[in-house]
Amino acid sequence: MIRAQIITRWVPHPSMAWFAPAIWINIPQAPGDAWTDVTAQPAANLPTAPNVVVIEVTVNAATFAAILAHPDYGPGAVLWSETISG
């Protein structure tokens, strides 16, 4: 498994009446993957410009490879990553 923090943006959820981090919509989650908003601010305090959110992920190698290959994320959006057991 790989743990990482990634910068993404808020986007309208395509099938719900709420916003979601773009990475949650763009990258399919595999069984065992975990995604958490770690921006650490109440939603009311989040700035709209820039429209950013920090997501911490614990994902398998294939999901992390998909994140790195996606043009919106890749190495420039990955704040840090580490390989963990489990």
Distance of CA 16 to the CA centre of its chain: 18
pLDDT digits (tens, 9 = 90+) for 3-18: 999 999 888 888 877 7
Residue 86 has pLDDT above 70, yes or no: no
- Tell me which residue has tokens 């410009």: 49
Parallel/antiparallel/unpaired status of strands 53-59 and 78-83: unpaired
- Give the domain extent around 67: 2-83
pLDDT digits (tens, 9 = 90+) for 23-75: 988 998 899 999 988 877 666 666 666 778 889 999 999 999 999 999 988 87
Number of domains in the chain: 1
pTM (whole model) above 0.75: yes
What's the burial of 62, exposed, middle or buried (CB within 10 Å: 0-12/13-18/19+)?
exposed
Residue 19 has pLDDT above 70, yes or no: yes
